[in-house]
């Protein structure tokens, strides 16, 4: 799994999420359901939009967009839940 923060899209936190595994079929995973942005208090928000979802079988990818949490955080935390038997994978970026 690979997650890239698309910093050039400044109006909203946006990430390129790539699912790539040969252990499970990824067709049943919906980015809208498995990806969340977590704030410093532990609250989570679902994506505002999922764009360019493509791929099938063992390789899927999409751009996932959120709205900025208020107040803007010092750190971004993206969570991918329940893929290939892993309860959650957490990706973090400092805003400083």
Range of the domain at 90: 2-94
Cis-peptide into 71, omega within 30 deg:
yes
Report pLDDT for 7: 84
User: What pTM was estimated for this model as a whole?
Assistant: 0.88
- CATH at 22: 2.60.40
What total number of domains does the chain contain? 1
The residues near 9 (Cβ < 8 Å, ≥ 6 apart) are 65
Rounded to 10 degrees, what is the CA torsion of 30, 36, 86, 74? 150
Report pLDDT for 3: 95
- Mean pLDDT for each consecutive 10-residue tract of the chain (96 residues)? 87 92 81 92 92 83 91 86 92 86
**Distance from C-alpha of 63 to C-alpha of 55, rounded to nearest angstrom:** 13
Tokens of 16: 């390129």
């Amino acid at each position: 799994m690979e997650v890239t923060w698309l910093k050039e899209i400044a109006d909203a936190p946006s990430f390129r999420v790539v699912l790539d595994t040969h252990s499970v079929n990824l067709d049943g995973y919906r980015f809208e359901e498995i990806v969340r942005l977590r704030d410093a208090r532990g609250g989570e928000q679902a994506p505002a939009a999922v764009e360019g979802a493509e791929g099938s079988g063992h390789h899927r990818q999409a751009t996932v967009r959120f709205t900025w949490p208020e107040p803007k955080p010092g750190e971004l935390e993206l969570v991918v839940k329940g893929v290939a038997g892993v309860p959650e994978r957490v990706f973090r970026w400092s805003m400083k």
